[in-house]
Amino acid sequence: MHPLLAAAQASVFHHLFVVDTSIIEKVARTVLVYAALILLLRFVGKRTLAQLNPFDLIVLLLLSNVVQNAVIGPDNSVLGGVIGALTLVGVNEIVVRASHRYPGFRAILAGRRARIVDGGRLDKGELRRSGIDEEELDQFAHVDDLETVQSMTLLPGGKIDVHLKSFAEPPTRDDIE
């Protein structure tokens, strides 16, 4: 084999499979960035997680690019990327399982419910704390008129739970009979 070809093959092998950063450092970087992003997204608000507008989507896409080097470090090997990905998926699985097992941990990570409409009255303070304006609320809730709403709660995952006033709810089978 020609020496240049052998050197090229060795270089390709090195770039693909030789991890230039220690595995412990790669795992630690991934865990730290994961924790930082969890905290960041937790304090940004529920709206960003479930009701993405184009600006939120752009921020999330750019955020992934910004933290890329913090996760993988100076290593660009395929094996290094796989180690980072495995760590990320593994840590996420641990966090998800822990949040199911320990409700207090889940509350810390996900936050609390926000009652936006109670007794048919809009709580503008709660709406503001949730990072949603009235126009967005109309779009997210899929309700023609807030007058028909008895209660509306923004859940920790970003979904909106709506209960209509009794006169606005569709009739049941018993009502029809």
pLDDT, tens digit (0-9, with 9 covering 90-100), for 108-131: 877 778 898 888 788 888 888 877
pLDDT digits (tens, 9 = 90+) for 1-43: 667 666 666 676 666 777 777 889 888 988 998 888 888 877 7
Amino acid letter, 103:
P
**Distances in whole angstroms, Cα of residue 80 to Cα of each of 5, 17, 127:** 25, 8, 43
Query: pTM value?
Result: 0.60
Per DSSP, the three-state class of 163 is strand
Q: Residues 40-55: pLDDT tens digits? A: 877 765 555 556 666 6
Contact 38, 109 (CB under 8 A): yes
Q: Residue 168: phi, psi to the nearest 5?
A: -100, -10
